[in-house]
Amino acid sequence: MIQGIVLAAGRSRRFGSDKRHAKLDGQPLLLRTVQRWLEARDEVLDELLVVLREPDEQEQELARQLRGLGVASTFCADAALGMAHSLAWGVLQTPRADGWLIGLGDMPSLQAQSIRAVAHALRPGGIVLPTHGGLRGHPVGFGRDFGRELLALRGDSGARSVLQAHREALQWLELEDPGLLLDVDEPAHLALATRQKV
């Protein structure tokens, strides 16, 4: 079973406030993104875990909201040290997975069929990179053979080192989905996400 992991432990510095709560058509951005992943669930991609920051009151509330959707979450105490720490933490919590689909919590325009397509293309020794118009996006799929390297990740460069070390394993998957390129980093991006909604 492929495990979906949504990274949602960032500090939203460029956004100016906690973007996870920013409203998109009346729904918090993070929950809107998670809804896309729920729509993508099938016999290959069934499990989903959202990685949050250290468990203060605000994070506990987010966890409650996610539970209301039937989605598990976990708190990463080292999230402030960089995205790679959150990614490694999510993989650590899901050791029985056949592979991991790593997504971002600020991508509400991503189509469910794109998430599903990446999951279905994933093989144990492969890394699947979705593209649109030749540009790389998310989510990125890692086969189970890369579990140990994902667990060792540190810093703020995500899984870049794993991609660079295994170019022979990369599979590029071109998809008709501009949403896989749009992560909401600034308030102006909310308008773009609204126009791209599906």
Residue 126 in this model has a pLDDT that exceeds 90: yes
Quick one: CA torsion of 194, 61, 103, 189, rounded to 10 degrees?
30
d(CA 27, CA 117): 26
Q: What pLDDT is attached to residue 26?
A: 85
Instruction: Please report the domains of the chain, with CATH numbers, ordered by start residue.
Output: 2-195 (3.90.550.10)
pLDDT tens-place string over residues 44-75: 999 999 999 998 898 999 999 999 999 999 99
Short-list 132, 95, 103, 99, CA closest to 38 = 103
d(CA 19, CA 58): 13
CA 25 from chain center: how many Å? 21
Tell me if the pTM is above 0.85: yes
pLDDT tens-place string over residues 1-43: 999 999 999 877 777 688 898 888 888 999 999 999 999 999 9
Residue 7 backbone zone (phi > 0: left; psi -120 to 50: alpha; other: beta): beta
pLDDT tens-place string over residues 165-176: 999 999 999 999
Q: What pLDDT is attached to residue 156?
A: 85
Residue 188 banded pLDDT, cuts 50, 70, 90: low
Q: What is the mean pLDDT of residues 113-139?
A: 97
pLDDT tens-place string over residues 75-105: 999 999 999 999 999 999 999 999 999 999 9
